[in-house]
Structure 1
């Protein structure tokens, strides 16, 4: 009692201390968030902030519009949009660019241009009709009108961007001199003899490359080898897969349905005898209720081609009442019962469609009248009857149904009412081999009934093969133990002892989500970038399919490529430089013959190569070597050339200049179109590379 009395006496003090701590915690959080009333920004572009609240709202809106997109994917998409928006707005302001109502309506035309209510008599978008729609909408549906108006700034930005891109493309041009130069690059030919000693003639282990040499190589061209901050991890994945025991138990449950059984009924307080699957009279109740099948009962008749491929023959040949199984299919244990069989439930037919003006033909350019189309169809029918083998050729030459031309006009496994009624009635009511002309809203069809298939009605019990609770509990225990044991022993050694695969993942970006082998795992990326996570730390992550035990292997700060990545892309280049020096020491001689004798490499011939396609047969592209051949006079020998695949010495045989053209306008136009096509993308990349961007996305997703 004395103790309780003391606690009561000090309760006000305790409450005060707790309250002070809570207040300190809240104030600290406010300070870290930027202060009272200040919303932290997701980032900034050239000093222009991207507010967090607006950014997250845009992310939510994108997730609402695009079902299935993850929060990280949406955040990355919105970020890219916001960055480009700021960068291009800067360009618009510098250019003094403004857009008028017509420019905005051009954007709306791209969105709503196919809506019939906004088209004129010529089938074109009518700006007046769209304006009228907006005026009426303001009165009849103010909420929808406000939603459209809310998007107007984005529409105006799109209009500005299109106008700016048009201006840029108009300023990009190719001269006739450039067109002629491009023609010569493609058509001037050089032939030369060469001696080639490949880099792979020296084993990699004969050439040592240090980390310092890799770094020095990258520093020579920092822009080419620059990299954002990244993390390297390695992980063990313990997947929740069904064990052999789980599969055996699942099979037993299916087997139990194939024989009669007795079960106690809680409602009647008596036992019920449940028939076997084969003897069940109410197949729907047995499949859906008694068996609790994950594949519900369906009364549709299906063809043999629609049955599971590996089991179709056995199932299709069952007699009514017979059961096939259990068998496995796509991760399920299944048993299938033949319920009924019916002839001619699906049809194989081929057709030639002749459209006419006014029909619902997929080709709007057709000018043929209905009478002309009918006469054409009758003529084709006569040809088909006279020479049945000509059908597929006649399809290719005449049919406007482009979807079936590649198949010779054939549609297979047509089910009732899949086609329009006149077509449907013909193929289902006529015997195999019948030909005829049928009119539908699409035109006139020259049809041949090729085959008819029997259909079967089946009942299938399907239970997904899943890991049991015991299996998932055991996997959880294994993963937890692996995480704990890694504090005393390297994860790589533990994985090897337990027979697990240790999977490396290099170059994880701060805003990445997917991890190869386990899919979207944003929590792992966040952990790898957490300031409290150190190299060597190990953590377990639970996923819907199992458990990931991850180890942070390396922290790569922003700058040059991490050494692990450099060893993939840069190491071969540095190694080849060293190999080239060793090879050159052997390639002694002033002539090809002398070098060939010294190295043992034969003299070979490269014939008629162009600068546009410098592909040496059996070696690959060698632009430097081919370029040297064009620069040498006939009969002259080069020095040693460091190529892509090895070291060369060449002797030019001939350089053949392409015949001059009367004009180069077509080539100039092609090169110009190619250059203009990439202007906007190249500009966006250049603006981003030159911008000062602060990216805090990581803190928000």
Structure 2
């Protein structure tokens, strides 16, 4: 990664100050006054076991999470915003679930512990990075404590001058938000460690498992498959479904949800739209070829692909028709040609023989905060500083030591300013121009948007033809006429569909495909098969059963939907659960019929004769594997029967209702394999480790299952 890119992502050297303001400090504050901070709650976005989650607090945490995502370079589009909301909600629910357990277990974090996390031997990684001397690798806890004292003073005094506002806000954010998060993090660590360390596997359990798993069995069996009884011969009533639900309620819980059926009307670009755009670019291609300033021309006429005023090596250019583009003379154009849903015209600006990659080192004197764009040093002061650095190096000072002491680039200063090898497009133009147009060993000062760089070109390799190419590119998009045609068809369909019956009739008459989107939750943003459309979800939750929507634009289509199902939170209705339960009950009834027909046979041969099925054998069955060989599949009841000591020596077992049919089994042999090398202690250790590793997810899942969680996010977003 280039240093310029690192500057963009890591906010350069100034971020160290921000880290200090936002991640550390607490020594001289009363912890109890900060850890319970929360904003005013005017309304609730949900609740956990009766404890409300306020919309103000929820939105504050969303804003904070979005800012962090932006700092890491993630695009804050609609999908990312939804991911952030989901993540924040999940975290707030988990925090609420765990808080009661913290209190019940008497868990707390003392001021001394927090101090140790900030300035002690066990300081959290972010703090250590901010206050560790890069030359010695030693954490300077006194510098951290001094910073905390300054923060305490700022926070208590409040913003007195406009110049202090930014630092005060950072201090306020730290004491009211970051410190409680640090405490919360420590509480969670303690809680999870306590739960993990409670894992225990007794010796007798390992010994029993070893004894069971050492057994090996051979059986003969007859399977009468369920498909030998017709499905149409078995009827399952709603009462039977309800009775099964009543006996297995925990398996058939449901969230609040709604289902829809819908039809779509294509509003994507037509062949006419594509041809029209191609013709437009064909007319512009001649003007593009004559334009002396390609960047100004592209800015004037508009291009999806911005102009890159630099050179890219031949091997690294991966565009359609590149050989035709390489064959152009300077100033000539090629196209329009198709490129990933766009029409493009390429213009060859220049050709040079340049290195494919360069290794350089630099020392940066920053003038601008790359995150905020705010100036942090005036230009004249920065110029004097870089000139002084140049003089020091000219007098023989070590580049490595000067970079470590004076460079404002945290990503390279610890490496003596060495950036390693990089390509031209990884750097800002001024930096790249110097490194790729210069020669190995050349040194000089370059000014970029980030400040002044003193650069030394250390190496250049893989010289090849490099091209400067301008691209006039436009995405193929639907014209207003295409969009209006699709919207008109959707509106006509809606006008003619006055109820569910008419909806289905019009689907058939218009030869449309009726699609289903089941179990849409109130806070959902994305509808399966459709994409992101929060407005449609809001309509679904404001509509009645059987109500039909007006056309909604969703991505490149118009959608008309009908509400087909409304499910309240709680236990599934028989109609909702039928698809899951009916096969189970049907097989149970089939098993009863098959078992009744075959009765109590005296031998396996009698079973085969009565059922018309063959006797099969299964050898080398193991107690810890539920599968029968030869593709028979998973049959745990049959495997269990193979190791049933009460069946030893008997000609045939009772009927067994298996996964795929009714089985009768004869146990031919059961023996045991020796396992003299089994290490009981090692096995106990490994199983306990496995339990510890999985305790967090299992614990949270268990707490969720027994909790009462209300999600009202759909009322706000």
| Aligned-partner Cα distance in 1 for 2:139–2:260 | 54
| Aligned-partner Cα distance in 1 for 2:168–2:354 | 56
Structure 2 counterpart of 1:325:
335
| Aligned-partner Cα distance in 2 for 1:594–1:128 | 88
Helix, strand or coil at the partner of 2:583: helix
Do 1:630 and 1:655's aligned partners in 2 also have CA atoms closer than 8 Å? no
Structure 1 counterpart of 2:712:
696
How far residue 64 of structure 1 moved from its aligned partner, in angstroms, is 3.7
Q: Is 1:194 equivalent to 2:221 in the alignment? A: yes
For structure 2, list consecutive stretches of 5 or more residues without a partner in the other structure. 1-39, 71-75, 155-166, 359-420, 441-458
Structure 1 counterpart of 2:175:
149
Structure 2 counterpart of 1:26:
none
| Aligned-partner Cα distance in 2 for 1:695–1:680 | 23
| Aligned-partner Cα distance in 2 for 1:509–1:222 | 21
Specify whether residues 329 and 579 from structure 1 end up closer, same or farther in structure 2 by C-alpha distance, changes over 3 A only. farther
Structure 1 counterpart of 2:502:
490
Structure 1 counterpart of 2:65:
62
Q: How does 1:632-671 map to 2 (within 5 A)?
A: 632=645, 634-636=648-650, 637-652=652-667, 653-661=669-677, 663-671=679-687
Do 2:224 and 2:613's aligned partners in 1 also have CA atoms closer than 8 Å? yes
Do 2:319 and 2:339's aligned partners in 1 also have CA atoms closer than 8 Å? no
**Equivalent of 2:258 in 231, 251, 257:** 231
Q: How does 1:115-514 map to 2 (within 5 A)?
A: 115-118=129-132, 130-139=144-153, 141-151=167-177, 152-184=179-211, 186-202=213-229, 204-258=231-285, 274=287, 280=290, 282=292, 284=294, 288=298, 292-303=302-313, 306-308=316-318, 311-316=321-326, 323-339=333-349, 341=351, 346=356, 415=423, 454-487=465-498, 490-514=502-526
Structure 1 counterpart of 2:611:
599
Do 2:313 and 2:354's aligned partners in 1 also have CA atoms closer than 8 Å? no
Do 1:606 and 1:616's aligned partners in 2 also have CA atoms closer than 8 Å? yes
Structure 2 counterpart of 1:547:
558
Q: Please say which of residues 149-158 and 584-593 is displaced more in the overlay.
A: 584-593
For structure 1, list consecutive stretches of 5 or more residues without a partner in the other structure. 1-36, 260-273, 349-412, 430-446
Question: What's the CA shift string for 1:389-442, capped at 9, x where partnerless?
Answer: xxxxxxxxxxxxxxxxxxxxxxxx985698999xx99xx99xxxxxxxxxxxxx
How far residue 665 of structure 1 moved from its aligned partner, in angstroms, is 1.0
How far residue 150 of structure 1 moved from its aligned partner, in angstroms, is 1.1
Do 1:232 and 1:555's aligned partners in 2 also have CA atoms closer than 8 Å? yes
How far residue 257 of structure 1 moved from its aligned partner, in angstroms, is 3.4
How far residue 642 of structure 1 moved from its aligned partner, in angstroms, is 1.7
Helix, strand or coil at the partner of 1:223: helix
| Aligned-partner Cα distance in 1 for 2:339–2:676 | 66
Q: Is 1:534 equivalent to 2:545 in the alignment? A: yes
Helix, strand or coil at the partner of 1:242: coil
Structure 2 counterpart of 1:569:
580
Q: Is 1:44 equivalent to 2:84 in the alignment? A: no
Do 2:131 and 2:140's aligned partners in 1 also have CA atoms closer than 8 Å? no
| Aligned-partner Cα distance in 2 for 1:202–1:329 | 58
Question: What's the CA shift string for 1:544-571, capped at 9, x where partnerless?
Answer: 5443211111111223235565344333
| Aligned-partner Cα distance in 1 for 2:215–2:623 | 8
Calculate the TM-score normalised by the size of structure 1: 0.70
Question: What's the CA shift string for 1:14-45, capped at 9, x where partnerless?
Answer: xxxxxxxxxxxxxxxxxxxxxxx993333433
Question: What's the CA shift string for 1:205-248, capped at 9, x where partnerless?
Answer: 45443444333322220011111221111122334311121111
The size of the alignment, in residue pairs, is: 563
Question: What's the CA shift string for 1:47-90, capped at 9, x where partnerless?
Answer: 33333433333334334433426665544444333333233222
Question: What's the CA shift string for 1:603-635, capped at 9, x where partnerless?
Answer: 333333333332223132222221221224555
Question: What's the CA shift string for 1:91-139, capped at 9, x where partnerless?
Answer: 2222222222354356654451551514799958676664443224334
Do 2:333 and 2:345's aligned partners in 1 also have CA atoms closer than 8 Å? yes
Structure 1 counterpart of 2:414:
none
Q: Is 1:619 equivalent to 2:629 in the alignment? A: no
Question: What's the CA shift string for 1:131-157, capped at 9, x where partnerless?
Answer: 443224334754433322112223223
Structure 2 counterpart of 1:680:
696
Q: Please say which of residues 534-543 and 479-488 is displaced more in the overlay.
A: 534-543
| Aligned-partner Cα distance in 2 for 1:181–1:654 | 17
Specify whether residues 538 and 56 from structure 1 end up closer, same or farther in structure 2 by C-alpha distance, changes over 3 A only. same
Do 2:532 and 2:554's aligned partners in 1 also have CA atoms closer than 8 Å? no
Do 1:340 and 1:456's aligned partners in 2 also have CA atoms closer than 8 Å? yes
| Aligned-partner Cα distance in 2 for 1:165–1:687 | 13
Specify whether residues 178 and 548 from structure 1 end up closer, same or farther in structure 2 by C-alpha distance, changes over 3 A only. same
Helix, strand or coil at the partner of 2:250: coil
Q: Please say which of residues 84-93 and 42-51 is displaced more in the overlay.
A: 42-51
| Aligned-partner Cα distance in 2 for 1:207–1:238 | 41
Calculate the TM-score normalised by the size of structure 2: 0.69
| Aligned-partner Cα distance in 1 for 2:327–2:349 | 12
| Aligned-partner Cα distance in 2 for 1:168–1:46 | 21
Do 1:184 and 1:657's aligned partners in 2 also have CA atoms closer than 8 Å? no
Specify whether residues 334 and 696 from structure 1 end up closer, same or farther in structure 2 by C-alpha distance, changes over 3 A only. closer
How far residue 320 of structure 1 moved from its aligned partner, in angstroms, is 5.7
| Aligned-partner Cα distance in 1 for 2:292–2:654 | 89
How far residue 468 of structure 1 moved from its aligned partner, in angstroms, is 0.7
Specify whether residues 103 and 114 from structure 1 end up closer, same or farther in structure 2 by C-alpha distance, changes over 3 A only. same
Specify whether residues 231 and 658 from structure 1 end up closer, same or farther in structure 2 by C-alpha distance, changes over 3 A only. farther
Structure 1 counterpart of 2:641:
628
| Aligned-partner Cα distance in 2 for 1:344–1:120 | 35
| Aligned-partner Cα distance in 2 for 1:238–1:248 | 22
Specify whether residues 282 and 556 from structure 1 end up closer, same or farther in structure 2 by C-alpha distance, changes over 3 A only. same
Q: How does 1:75-86 map to 2 (within 5 A)?
A: 75-86=85-96
Helix, strand or coil at the partner of 2:251: coil
| Aligned-partner Cα distance in 1 for 2:62–2:426 | 41
Do 2:487 and 2:551's aligned partners in 1 also have CA atoms closer than 8 Å? no
How far residue 594 of structure 1 moved from its aligned partner, in angstroms, is 2.9
How far residue 586 of structure 1 moved from its aligned partner, in angstroms, is 5.4
| Aligned-partner Cα distance in 2 for 1:290–1:173 | 72
